[in-house]
Each structure stands twice: as structure tokens, then as C-alpha cells.
Amino acid sequence: MLRQRLAQSSLVVAPGVFDLVSLRLANTFGFEALYMTGFGTVASHLGLPDAGLATYSDMVERVRTMAAQAQAPLIADGDTGYGGLLNVRHTVRGYEAAGASAIQLEDQAFPKKCGHTPGRVVIPADDMVAKIRVAVKARSSTDFMIVARTDARTSLGLDEALRRGEAYARAGADVLFIESPESEEEMRRIGRAFDLPLVANMVERGRTPVLARDDLASIGYGLAIFPVSALLAALHAMAGVYGQLKATGSTAGSAVPMYDFAALTSLMGFDDVWAFERDHASP
């Protein structure tokens, strides 16, 4: 489904999901794809920075639980593949078996760092080419897509990032992710350079301009991910609630908008629980 959709000309918008509540809520909006953000998943699951601290075991279990409830194709962050070539093979097989529709692999040196943050170091391009070739060979179905990301722009410049994108495409990547272009003109250069579907990583107040849907599509992007938008909004709301509680000891009179509790119980599946209990209640 994801491969067929990305073959079309219109942009696919994939919101970031970072836990099962955010995923179930995103389901209700009918998105065409969902993006399991590494930053948000590591933060919510482990309470740690996305800095190479999460293991394959940590993440593949998150993929499994999210994919089981996702109502749209799930694109899952696979970091660097969690090691060498054998690890990449294991990771690709594991993510595919867990139910993801695509895995994102990046060319950072271990321990990796979150995109749009400083200090990212990339491995030699040939080493990443080998990883992509292993990933392509490891999958059991071509419906499972390989997203190849390069972080070379920040440390080595856009020309090197474009050169790597070309190499990764030749190695068999299905989707290219040139991370952290720093202007709309750089984004246009990326769009002109490739025929494969391209990822636009829209991080509010990050290194890349956040553009409107039509602008991204006209540039040549096929997939726009918004990895931390919902997480940032949720944190802002929670900070307001916690601040109110600390200041007044109550939420009475709070100006922070809150999701309806009855809607939350329905979102989380309590309607089914209550229906089950009615059907199986003792006479």
C-alpha cells in the first residue's frame, strides 16, 4: 500500500507517533501513513535522549505494538541498523516481521544523534551503501520499503549529501531522506536531483524550513514527516496543567484546553470492554 501510494504525485503526510495513545489518536484522522519517531519513542518509552541509547530490542517491540494497532502503513525509525551488516540484516527482518511497512536507516556513526541536533558524524558512504544492499537483500517482500537517510549535509555540505543520495539510490533504496537542508533553495536542489520519493523532515524550529503541503509537493517531495509536532504540543499542554496544579493545587479554573474524558475512554477501547461485560454479565 505504501509503495503504491508513494508512486503517486501527491504528497503523503505522516504525523509522528511516539506511544500507543498518540497512535490511536492519529488513527482517527485517517492519515495515509504514520511515522514512528525515534526521538519521541525513545523519550516516551525510556525517558532518554535519542542518542544511540535505545537498543534493537527496545525498538522492535515498540514497532510490534504500534504496527498491531496502526490503521495506516507504519514507517519506523531503525537508526543505524543497531550495528554492523549482520545487525542490519537482523533489524530489517525484525522490523518487517513486526509489521512495519518501511524502515528508515541512516548513515551516522554510532552512537547516533537525533537529526537537527549538532555533533552528528557520518560513516563513509561506501559503508552505508553496503548496509543498504544488505537491507534490500534481507527483506522478504519488496512491499517493505527501505528509506535511506544521510546526515551529511550538516557536517560535510549539501553537495556531499546529494552525492550520497545518488549512491544510496543505486544501492537499492526505495526512498531517499536528505536530512537537514537549511533553506528552501537547498530543498529545491534536492527535489531536482532525484526521481525516487523524497522525505521532508518537518521539525518545528529545527534546521529546515517548515513549508506548506503544496510547496513541498511542488518542490518534489513525496513524503512529509512531522516527527515531534504532536509531542511538542502535548508537552506544552502538560506544562500548563502541571504549572496550574503547582500554583493553585487544583485544575479548577484552568485555561488549558483538555481532551474530553469520555472521548478518551472511547479512544482507548472502553466501549468494547463495557459491551463485553454486558454480554457476559451473570444473569
Query: HEC string of 182-249?
Result: CCHHHHHHHHHHCCCCEEEECCCCCCCCCCCHHHHHHHCCCEEEECCHHHHHHHHHHHHHHHHHHHHC
3-state secondary structure of 137: helix
Band (120; pLDDT cuts 50, 70, 90): confident
Asked if the model's pLDDT at residue 119 lies above 90, the reply is no
What value does the CA radius of gyration of the chain take, rounded to a whole number of Å?
20
Angle, helices 125-138/85-98, rounded to nearest 10 degrees: 40
What's the pLDDT score for residue 264? 97
For range 228-238, the mean pLDDT: 97
CB 103 within 8 A of CB 76: yes
Give the pLDDT of residue 52: 87
Average pLDDT over residues 76-86: 96
- Mean pLDDT (the chain) is 95
Who's near 206: CB < 8 A, 6+ residues apart? 115, 116, 180
| 3-state class (DSSP) for residue 75 | strand
Give the pLDDT band (50/70/90) at residue 251: very high
Residue 80's pLDDT is what? 95
pLDDT of 113: 75
Q: What is the rounded average pLDDT of the residues 199-208? A: 95
Q: What is the pLDDT of residues 125-170, one digit of tens each?
A: 999 999 999 999 999 999 999 999 999 999 999 999 999 999 999 9
Residue 111 pLDDT > 90: no
CA dihedral 256, 262, 263, 266 (to 10 degrees): 150
What pLDDT band is residue 117 in, cutting at 50, 70 and 90? confident
Domain spans, the chain: 2-234
Residue, of 113 and 55, whose pLDDT is higher: 55
In a 3-state reduction of DSSP, which class is residue 264?
Answer: helix
CATH fit for domain 2-234, picks 3.40.50.2300, 3.40.640.10, 3.30.460.10, 3.20.20.60: 3.20.20.60
Residues 45-72 have a mean pLDDT of 95
Strand partners, 15: 226
